[in-house]
Amino acid sequence: MSLGRRVERLETALGPTEAVCAWLEDAQTFGSLPAYERGRSAEPRADHPFRRIWDQVQADARNRTRGQPRTSVEKAATAALRGATFRVALVLELNVAIGTELALAARDSDLLALIVDLAGLGIEIDKGMTAEDELAARVRASIATYAVGLRASARASIDLEARYLGGHPALVPDLVAERNRLLDDLEQLLERARELDEIRTDDHPADERGLEKLDADVLAAAVEARAPAIAALRVAEARITAFDLLGRSAEAAALRARLVSRIS
C-alpha cells in the first residue's frame, strides 16, 4: 500500500458503528444487494469495502490507545475489528433474512386477502351459521399470526438498528419499500377482517377473544413479546457469519450447533 493510501486511511479512521454506517450509506445508493454486488465486483481486492472498514476501525482504535502498552493497543484494535465485522454481518443477515421473509409475506398477504373476500361472501349468503362463524374465526386467527410476524420482524429490525447501528437503517431501499407496502396492506386487511364480525347476526355473537378478534392492543402486546426472540436469532446468525468472515470457523461451527439445538 502506498504512503498516500496509508495516510488517507488513517485520516478517515472511524469507530465500528461509524465505519459500517458509512459503508451502508454507499451500499444503499444501489437500491438492492444484487445491484451493489454487481457495482462493486470490479473493484480491486485491496479496495474492497470490508477491508476498508477493517482498516478504518483498527486505525481508530490505535489512535485512541496511542502511548499505551502494545498489548493494550492490539487488544483494542482486535476488539474494533470484531465489532465492525459483527455489524457488517448483522446488516447482511437483516437484508438476506428479511428479503426472504418479505417474499413469503407478499404471497401470504395476497392469499389472506382472497380468503377474507371468500369468507365475507360465505357469511353474507348463510348469515348466522355456526360453520361460517368458525370460518371467520379461523380467518382472523391466520391474519393475526401473519400480522404479528410481519410487525414483530419490523420491530426487531428497528431495535437492532438502534442498538448496533446508531439508528441507521440497515435495509436497502428496495426492501424498505416492500416492507412498507406490506405493512400498509396489512392495515387494510385487518379492517376488512374485522368487518366479518359486523356481517354476523345478533343471534350468533362471536365469542373469540384476543388475537382471534384482532384487537389492536392484544396484537401490539404479541408483537412486543415476539420481537426480542426474532432479534436474538438475527444476532446469533450475524455472530456466526462474523466468525466465518474472521476465519474463526471452529467458533462459528460451535455457535451454529448451539443455535440449531436451541431451535430444535
**E strands, the chain, in order:** none
Taken as a whole, the chain contains a residue count of: 264
For 11-20, the pLDDT digits (tens) are 578 999 999 9
Q: Which amino acid is at 187?
A: E
Q: Which of 1-10, 133-142, 149-158, 234-243 has the lowest mean pLDDT?
A: 1-10
- Nine-digit cell string for 88: 457488517
Residue 194 has a pLDDT of: 82
- The answer to whether residue 8 scores a pLDDT higher than 80 is no
CB atoms within 10 A of CB 180: 11
The whole-model pTM stands at 0.83
What pLDDT, on a 0 to 100 scale, did the predictor assign at position 214? 85
Residue from 93, 88, 97, 94 nearest 17 by CA: 88
> 141 and 209 in contact (C-beta within 8 Å)?
no
Question: Looking at the predicted structure, is the pLDDT value of residue 243 above 50?
Answer: yes
Q: What is the pLDDT of residue 163?
A: 97
Share of the chain above pLDDT 70, in %: 80
Residue 36 banded pLDDT, cuts 50, 70, 90? confident
Tell whether the model's pLDDT for residue 3 goes beyond 90: no
pLDDT digits (tens, 9 = 90+) for 52-99: 999 999 999 999 999 999 999 999 999 999 999 999 999 999 999 999
Across residues 112-132, what is the average pLDDT? 65
246 phi/psi in degrees, rounded to 5: -85, 0
Structure confidence at residue 122 (pLDDT): 58
Distance separating alpha carbons of residues 143 and 213, to the nearest angstrom: 10
Please report the sign of the dihedral spanned by the C-alpha atoms of residue 250, residue 237, residue 231, residue 53: positive
pLDDT recorded at residue 88 = 95
